[in-house]
Amino acid sequence: MSLCAATLAFPVTAFGQAAPPLSERTAQSDLPLDGPRADMLLEHVTLSIAVDPASQSISAEGVYAVIMRGGQSSLAFDLDPRFDIASIQVDGAALPEIAWSNPDGLLSIDLPAPLSAGDNVTVQIAYSGSPHVALNAPWEGGFVWDRTPADEPWIATAVQGEGCDMFWPCIDHSSSRIGTMDTLVTVPDGLIAAGNGRLVETVENDDDTTTFHWSARDPSNYGISLQIGPYELTERLYESRFGNTIPIQFWHLPGNNKDARRLNAEMASYLDFFETTIGPYPFGDEKAGIVETPHLGMEHQTINAYGNRFRPSALGYDWLLAHEFAHEWFANQLTHASINHMWLHEGIGTWMQPLYLGWARGEMFYASEMWRQRQMIGSRVPLVPSEGTLPDYNDREAGWGIDIYAKGAWIMHSLRYLVGEDVIFPALTRLTYGTDNPVPGEIAPINRTTDDFRVILEEMSGHDLDWFFDAYFYQAELPRLVISRGGDQLTMEWQSRSELAFEMPVELRYGGSTMRIPMPGGAATITLPEGTGHVQIDPRNQILRHDEEIVRARESG
């Protein structure tokens, strides 16, 4: 997805008044886990949430089964302080209002008695209010209150950058997963709430509302979402190569049935590709879900938001649908341990797109898409920022929010060249599932860092890769290949900001043959056969390196 600038300074409520901006804490995700948040394991959450399109407000109650990892005299949740908290109960006992406070987005709850490691406690939080309106979903997130072409309510949430605390009390950190979660969404009659996991039941209430009860296992925090509209459902079944049957379900606006059926067929093709290339679909016991949304898209677990308007493409696939579906593996199954490693989601997921095109339509499509992505790379800041820092996705000058896609994909492209097909794809399987032989029904999400990937690749290739990872992930500038030739002597030398020698081997093509030149210490000199004319360096363009022509074209506008 490309970056877009927000056009509004503040969101506007249903009554035309400027809503307050997000608190500094709520506007950020993945703030360090400390205090009670570090010691709370959310075993189960039941979130009951009533959505009122007329007032653009919600009324909700969250019930949390918490297991303590350590001793604490208080609990803490992340929650946007714009919400009014009506009550909090601990193990069924109501707390006095003085027992909790939420001045900045960290909801602190004083316990009646201290808890020890291993203790279980049930917390019930009732709250209500008008959630933050998205400035430019999905890049600047919140609630989207829109209308369909038939002027019916069309509502969505997109909170990846800012976090789950924008509309429900949670632990807003990538490493904090929930065991199981039931979401009961109540909406006016005539609307449908498409949700995470599997649909348990639909209840028609006596007050002209309907409640949709969804149940999900192992959901990520920002992957919990609301999508509400006058939806119709198009579905089909996919027979997996792993022996299970996966429902493909698309909730779309009325009139889009034909396009939805076409994209459902595409989804079956994506499933075939991913299960062949990486491994089994992680959530086959629930669904492979899509929902049409008023914003562009987001990888909500088992219910990917789709707003690409069914646009046809000469590439023969829907790039947005393919990208968001890749996140079921690289975001929802493999989850970065902190936002610093977000390239694991976006870069690997982006690389899956040209890989799919090469698998489906041929190598020309792979090469052309890689070239398009290569021109987007800025490399002005490290792809993996220092631990403890929170990179700004929307900082156009830094360009990190673009590099995690394009540079991440190109690093994968170069890794494929360096370690070979027989290593890179099995390594991705192990990285994604924590095992070499994932089996449906035995899969659970796993948190990963960039260094985890390095260790796996080193184990499987038998080679030290510190030099590769330092140069590409922890240094901003791309390595440069300096080439000089005198007669039959050709000298190549890598220059990198890394203190480690960049030892990427280089392919040469001349006289109708191709040879791979090792670069021990980051340099090599070879003697060419007498009379050798033109020599192509890296003829298949497999190495991510500084390209002066791209720089010159970018600077010229």
Q: Which helix (H) or strand (E) holds 129?
A: strand 120-129
Determine the 3-state secondary structure of 191 from DSSP.
coil
Query: Phi then psi for 536, rounded to 5 degrees?
Result: -90, 130
Residue with tokens 């049409």: 292
Query: Phi then psi for 78, rounded to 5 degrees?
Result: -85, 130
- For 188, counting Cβ atoms within 10 Å of its Cβ (0-12 exposed, 13-18 middle, 19+ buried), the class is middle
213 among the known binding-site residues? Answer: no
What gap in Å lies between CA 1 and CA 7, rounded to an integer? 18
Sheet-wide strand order for 523-527: 480-486, 489-495, 523-527
Helical H segments across 11-165, by residue range:
35-39
Q: CB of 130 within 8 A of CB of 13?
A: yes
Contacts of 249 (CB under 8 A, 6+ apart): 233, 234, 235, 287, 288, 289, 290
Euclidean distance between the first and the last CA atom of the chain, given in angstroms as a whole number: 21
| Dihedral (Cα; 37, 38, 39, 43), 10-degree rounding | 70
Half-sphere exposure of 216 (CA within 13 A, CB side): 30
For the chain, the helix, strand and coil percentages under 3-state DSSP, each to the nearest 5: 25, 30, 45
Residue with tokens 């000199």: 525
Q: CB of 287 within 8 A of CB of 194?
A: no
What gap in Å lies between CA 419 and CA 38, rounded to an integer? 38
Q: CB of 433 within 8 A of CB of 369?
A: no
Token output for 469: 């990872």
Give the Å distances, CA to CA, from 325 to 141, 156, 235, 287, 298.
20, 18, 16, 12, 9
What gap in Å lies between CA 42 and CA 122, rounded to an integer? 10
Q: Which helix (H) or strand (E) holds 512?
A: none
Helical H segments across 473-547, by residue range:
none
What gap in Å lies between CA 148 and CA 305, rounded to an integer? 16
Q: CB of 364 within 8 A of CB of 333?
A: no
**How many CB atoms are closer than 10 A to CB 32?**
12
24 among the known binding-site residues? Answer: no
323 among the known binding-site residues? Answer: yes
Greatest pairwise CA separation for the chain in angstroms: 90
Q: CB of 46 within 8 A of CB of 63?
A: yes
Determine the 3-state secondary structure of 62 from DSSP.
strand
Instruction: Report the length, in residues, of the chain.
Output: 557
- Give the residue ranges of the annotated binding site: 323, 327, 346
- Give the residue ranges of the annotated binding site for Zn(2+): 323, 327, 346
